[in-house]
Amino acid sequence: MKHLIVANWKCNPNNLVKAKKLFSVVKKGIGVVKEVEVVVCPPFVYLSKLFGLTLGAQNCFWKNLPAGRGAFTGEISPFMLKDIGCKYVIIGHSERRRYFKETCAMVNKKLKAALANNLKPILCIDSINQVKRGLKGISKKEIKKIVIAYEPIFAIGTGKACSINKAKKMNFSIRKILGEQAAILYGGSVNSKNAKDFIKKAQFQGLLIGGASLNPKEFVKIIKKVSQV
Ligand code: PGA
């Protein structure tokens, strides 16, 4: 299975010029690396301004609106994301659960709405319970289209990545539920020094990267290291 590396820019950078620059340096740096699928998830407002790499959104509205539109001030529908060329959407990131009070029931609805619009969801979880509750009522066939990202809260943005052993155990526990073919990423303080171990030793298919994805040199270094595994 091809490795998958997802950049989660979060609420960065703070203007379009910087966003375009970061994107183009990454694009150039990756060059012809074929062994890794690279996805960039910038803030919504930059999505339609960046070209040449696979794009993902960081969130979407939970309701599957008829024709993707309706009276929901401030929301972005999965339909709209698909329309501007997004392939992926991050759902249930711990920062959304924490600061915006997203519940597993909302996450579950978002997954269904994303799937109904042919977006590939990246479901972020930090426990088996969140996997089970997030996927409730979704058919086995549809679950196969969902990427799971194991992101232990203590490791996000702290510089303290999860131990390889603990991450590997969680990876295997999720596979026990979803099957051997499940696409599972690790996220949380990934850098160019630890990236390879999460792929090679903990056997994740790929990585979800926050902080290090804002440093193009470091991000490209991670991609190149993973491409050698
Ligand atoms: P981090 O963030 O790489 O900065 O720890 C990961 C994430 O929040 O997805």
Q: Do the Cβ atoms of 133 and 108 come closer than 8 Å?
A: yes
Between CA 80 and CA 202 the distance in angstroms is 36
Q: For this structure, is 180 an active site residue?
A: no
Q: Are 212 and 21 in contact, with CB atoms under 8 Å apart?
A: no
pLDDT in tens, 159-183: 999 999 999 999 999 999 999 999 9
Q: Position of tokens 């596979």? A: 175
Q: Are 128 and 117 in contact (CB under 8 A)?
A: no
**Predicted local distance difference test score (pLDDT) of residue 33:** 85
The pLDDT, as a whole number, for residue 81 is 97
- Would you state the pLDDT for residue 66? 86
Residue with CA nearest ligand 1 atom 9: 210
The answer to whether the beta carbons of residues 112 and 60 sit under 8 Å apart is no
Of 18-22, 34-38, 126-130, the range with the lowest mean pLDDT is: 34-38
Work out the percent of the chain whose per-residue pLDDT is above 90: 94
For residues 126-149, average pLDDT: 96
Catalytic residue among 3, 93, 95, 102: 93
Q: What does R_g of the chain's alpha carbons equal in angstroms?
A: 16
Q: What is the pTM of this model?
A: 0.96
Sign of the alpha-carbon dihedral angle for 204, 20, 80, 60: positive
User: Looking at residues 204-224, what average pLDDT do you find?
Assistant: 97
Q: Angle at the Cα of 88 (from 106 to 104), degrees rounded to 5? A: 15
State which of 209, 213, 219, 222 you would mutate to test the pocket of ligand 1, scoring each by most atoms of that ligand within 8 A of its C-beta.
209
Which carries the bigger pLDDT value, residue 59 or residue 35? Answer: 59
Whether residue 190 has its Cβ less than 6 Å from ligand 1: yes
Which residue's CA is minimally distant from atom 6 of ligand 1? Answer: 210
Task: Examine the pLDDT at 32 and tell me if it is beyond 90.
Answer: no
How far is the centre of ligand 1, averaged over its atoms, from the C-alpha of 202 (Å)? 18
Closest atom of ligand 1 to 187 CA is: 6
Ligand 1 atom closest to the CA of 158, numbered from 1: 5
The SS3 call for residue 205 is coil
Round the average pLDDT of the chain to a whole number and report it: 96
Query: Pairing state of beta strands 54-57 and 147-150?
Result: unpaired
Which protein residue's CA is at the shortest distance from atom 7 of ligand 1?
210
Segment 104-133 shows an average pLDDT of 97
Tell me the domains of the chain and their CATH numbers: 3-227 (3.20.20.70)
The pLDDT of residue 16 is 98
Q: What is the pLDDT of residues 61-108, one digit of tens each?
A: 999 898 999 999 999 999 999 999 999 999 999 999 999 999 999 999
Atom number of ligand 1 nearest to Cα 94: 8
Q: How far is the CA of 31 from the centre of ligand 1 (A)?
A: 24
CB-side exposure of 178: number of CA atoms within 13 Å?
A: 26
Other C-beta atoms closer than 10 Å to the C-beta of 58 total: 21
pLDDT the model gives residue 61: 97
**Residues 6+ positions from 20 with CB-CB distance below 8 Å:** 46, 49, 50
Mean pLDDT of 139-143: 95
CA–CA gap between residue 61 and residue 4 (Å, rounded): 24
Average pLDDT value for residue range 224-229: 92
Q: What is the pLDDT of residue 34?
A: 83
Question: What whole-number distance in Å separates Cα of residue 75 and Cα of residue 198?
Answer: 35
Q: Indicate which atom in ligand 1 lies nearest the CA of residue 208.
A: 9
